[in-house]
Amino acid sequence: MLAEQDLKLVDALQAAPRASWSTLGETLGLGAVTAARRWDALVERGDAWLTAYAGGELTAQLALAFVEIDCEPGAALDLAAALAADVHVVTVECVAGPCDLLVHVVAPTLRQLGAHVQARVATVAGVARVRTTVSPRMFTEGSRWRVRAISPGQREALSTKQAKNRAPLRFDEADRALILALGVDARASAAALAAELGIGATTVRRRLDTLLGRGAVRVRCEIARSVSPAPVTVTLWLRVPPDKLETTARSLAMVPEVRMCAALSGAANLMLVVWLPSQHDAVALEGGLAAKLPWLEIIGRAVTLRSVKLMGRLLDAAGRGTGRVPLDFWAAVPVPEHGDRGVSRSGG
C-alpha cells in the first residue's frame, strides 16, 4: 500500500482534482512544492493518475453497454490488449465468473453502439461468444469513490458545490476538444488549454467552469490496485423489483465500497462494482446488502483477475498506469447500410 501521506494526497485530489498545489499542500500540512513533487513521483511510477471525461447530463446523450466475452482457449490476454486499443471500449477486465472478459463500451447512439459491438468487438480474433447488456442509466461511478484517508474537515475544505442546472447544456465541437485536452492533462490551466486549442482564454475559462460546475465533465484521481487499500474488484449482477429500482440504487450508491451502480436492460436490472480489501470481504458485503435490502437478489458474480484498461488508462499486470487511449465517446462508428448483414458472433 502507498505511504499514508501519499494516500492522503490521492484522497485530496479525489475531492478536488484541480485545486492549486498551495491549497492542497495547506490542507494536508505540506508545502505546495512538496505536494506537487509527491504527486509527480506517483504519476511517474504509475501508482496514480488523473482522468477526465464526459459525465452527468452529457452521458444522457450517449449509449453505454456492458459486454461479456467468452474467449477461445488461451486467447484472453491478447484479446484484452486488442480491445484496450479501441477508443469506444473504455474498460477491459479479465474476470473469474460468467465470462472471460468484461468490457464497457460507449458510443454516440444506441444504433452505433450495436454496430460497434457486432462489427468490431465481436469479430476480434479470439472471441468465441459475446453477450451485450445495455445500461439506460448510471446511478454512480468511479469519480465518487474515495480512498478515505483524509478527515471530513479536510474534505469539506476542498469540496466545491456544483452549479444548479437552470437551462439545457450547450455542447459543441469546441467543448468536445476541451474535454479531450483535459484528458491529456486534467490539471491544465485555462490559459494552457486556450493556447493548445486556439480559443480565447476567457471562453475556455467560462466553458470549463460551466462543464465542471454542472458535473458534465468528471475529473477523477485513480490509484493503482496493487498499492490501493481496496485492491480487489467484485462485480455483482442484481435483480430488484422495478418499483424499488430507484431507491435501491440510491441506497447502494451510498455504500463506501461501491465504485459503480448502473441500471441494466436484462434479466439483472442492476450492476454493482465494488472495491474490497480482499476477496473474502465479498461474503460480509453480500450479507450486509441482504440484511439492509432484503428484496435484492444477487444473480451473478465476477471477481476481477486483472484490469487491462480502466476508463481509458492502460494498465500493467500490477494495475499501474502505463499509457492512455483518448476517451472520445463521440468518435464516429460506421453503421452498416440497411440490408448489410455484416458479421456477428453475438450470443444476445
Task: Tell me the pLDDT tens digit for each residue of 175-190.
Answer: 999 999 999 999 999 9
Looking at residue 338, its pLDDT comes to 52
Helix (H, G, I), strand (E, B) or coil at 14: helix
What is the reported pTM?
Answer: 0.92
Beta bridge partners, 130, equal 69, 346
What is residue 29's three-state secondary structure? coil
> What was the pLDDT predicted at 159?
83
Could you give the angle at the alpha carbon of 326 between the alpha carbons of 113 and 36, nearest 5°?
Answer: 145
Using the predicted structure, report yes or no on whether residue 340 has a pLDDT greater than 50: no
Looking at residue 344, the DSSP 8-state letter turns out to be -
Q: What is the mean pLDDT of residues 8-25?
A: 96
pLDDT attached to residue 169:
80
Answer yes or no: are the C-beta atoms of 67 and 102 closer than 8 Å.
yes
> Among all chains, which residue has been given the C-alpha cell 478536488?
16
CA–CA dist 223, 7 (Å, integer): 9
- Is residue 165 very low, low, confident or very high in pLDDT (cuts 50, 70, 90)? low
Q: Please state, in angstroms and rounded to a whole number, the distance separating the CA atoms of residues 78 and 327.
A: 21
pLDDT digits (tens, 9 = 90+) for 97-146: 999 999 999 999 999 999 999 999 999 999 999 999 999 999 999 988 99
Is pLDDT at 312 greater than 70 in this prediction?
yes
In the chain, the percentage of residues whose pLDDT exceeds 70 is 94
Whole-angstrom Cα Rg for the chain = 20
The DSSP result for 202-252, as a single string, is: HHHHHHHHHHHHTTSEEEEEEE-GGGSS--EEEEEEEE--GGGHHHHHHHH
Which pLDDT score, from 0 to 100, does residue 339 have?
A: 45
3-state secondary structure of 283: helix
| Contact (CB, 8 A) for 53 and 218 | yes
Per the document, the length of the chain is: 348
pLDDT one-digit tens code per residue, 49-92 = 999 999 888 888 899 999 999 999 999 999 999 999 999 999 99
pLDDT of residue 293: 96
CB 262 within 8 A of CB 293: no
What is the pLDDT confidence band of residue 347, given thresholds at 50, 70 and 90? very low
User: Which pLDDT score, from 0 to 100, does residue 343 have?
Assistant: 37
Q: Say what percent of the chain tops pLDDT 90.
A: 85
Collapsing DSSP to helix, strand or coil, 61 comes out as helix
> Minimal CA–CA distance to 153: which of 39, 29, 262, 239?
29
- Which has the higher per-residue pLDDT, 142 or 346? 142
How far is 317 from 203, CA to CA, in rounded Å? 42
Cα gap 260→274, rounded to integer Å: 7
pLDDT at 196: 94
pLDDT at 163: 61
SS (H, E, C) 147-208: CCCCCHHHHHHHCCCCCCCCCCCCCCHHHHHHHHHHHHCCCCCHHHHHHHHCCCHHHHHHHH
Measuring CA to CA, which residue among 112, 103, 108 is closest to residue 130? 103
42-46, 207-211, 283-287, 311-315, range with the lowest pLDDT: 207-211
Three-state DSSP state, 299? strand
Q: How confident is the model at residue 166 (pLDDT cuts 50, 70, 90)?
A: low
